[in-house]
Amino acid sequence: MPKNVIRPLGLSTITSLALLQSTAAHAQALPDADASTSGMESGDIVVTAQRREQKLQDVPIAITAVSAEELSSRNVSDLQSISSIAPSVQITGAGGVTGNHQVAIRGISGQGSPIGTAQPVATYIDGEYLPTTDAGFFTLDDVERVEVLRGPQGTLYGRNSTAGAINIITRLPGDDLRAGFDVSYGNYNHILARGSVSGPLTDGLSAGLSASYESRDGFVKNSTTGNTLDDLTSYVVRGKVHYQSPDESFSILLAADTWRRDNPSTIWSSLYDPTNTVFIGLPNPDSVTYPAEVDATYRNDNRSEGQVLTLNYKATSDLAFTSITSHRSYRADIAYFTPIFNQAGGSEIRHNTFSSEFRLAYTGKILTLTAGVNYYRNDQLYATQSPHGLGITLPLTSPRDTSNLEAFGIFGQAEVAVTPKLTLIAGARYIHETQDFVIDYTQAVTPAPLITGTVKADKPIFNGGINYKATPDILLYAKVSQGYQAPGFNSSVRTTTPFITFEPERLLAYEAGIKSEFFDRMLTLNLAGFYYDYSDLQVKNIVAVGVQVIDNAASSTIKGVEGSLVLRPVEGLTLSGDISWTHATYKEFCEGNGGSAPPAGDPACTNKNGIAGWDRAGNYMNNSPKWSGSVSASYTHPVGPGELRATAGYSFSSRAYFSPANEIAVSRGAVNKLDARVGYRFDGFEIYAYGQNLTNQRFASFPIRALYTPINFVVSPPNDPRTYGVGIRFTY
> Each residue of 370-389: pLDDT tens digit?
999 999 999 999 999 988 88
| Terminal-to-terminal C-alpha distance of the chain | 54
Query: Given CA atoms 114, 115, 119, 124 in this order, what sign does their dihedral have?
Result: positive
Beta partners for residue 143, in sequence order: 170
Task: Kindly indicate the confidence band of residue 337, based on its pLDDT and cuts at 50, 70 and 90.
Answer: confident
Task: Report d(CA 540, CA 701) in Å as an integer.
Answer: 20
Whether the predicted pLDDT of 11 surpasses 80 = no
Residues 6 or more apart whose Cβ sits within 8 Å of residue 464: 424, 425, 426, 427, 479, 480, 481
Mean pLDDT over each residue of the chain, to the nearest integer: 88
Residues 6 or more apart whose Cβ sits within 8 Å of residue 400: 381, 382, 383, 384, 440, 443
Task: Kindly indicate the confidence band of residue 28, based on its pLDDT and cuts at 50, 70 and 90.
Answer: very low
> Could you give all domains of the chain from N- to C-terminal order, each with its CATH number?
11-176+270-290+307-731 (2.40.170.20)
What is residue 708's predicted lDDT score, i.e. its pLDDT? 67
Q: Is 41 or 61 the better-scoring residue by pLDDT?
A: 61
Which of 198, 196, 197 shows the shortest CA–CA distance to 211?
Answer: 196
What is residue 7's predicted lDDT score, i.e. its pLDDT? 39
Q: Is the model's pTM score more than 0.85? A: yes
Most confident of 216-225, 460-469, 609-618: 460-469
> Each residue of 686-696: pLDDT tens digit?
999 999 999 99
Judged by DSSP in three states, 422 sits in strand
DSSP state of 388: B
> Each residue of 635-662: pLDDT tens digit?
999 999 999 999 999 999 999 999 899 9
Mean of pLDDT values over 612-635: 95
Whether the predicted pLDDT of 22 surpasses 70 = no
Whether the predicted pLDDT of 331 surpasses 80 = yes
Q: Which amino acid is at 370?
A: T
What is residue 119's predicted lDDT score, i.e. its pLDDT? 84
Whether the predicted pLDDT of 514 surpasses 70 = yes
Whether the predicted pLDDT of 148 surpasses 90 = yes
DSSP state of 13: H
Contact indicator for 628, 652 with CB cutoff of 8 Å: yes
> Each residue of 413-457: pLDDT tens digit?
999 999 999 999 999 999 999 999 999 999 998 898 899 999 999
HSE of 235, CA atoms in CB hemisphere, 13 A:
4
Whether the predicted pLDDT of 496 surpasses 70 = no
Whether the predicted pLDDT of 38 surpasses 90 = no
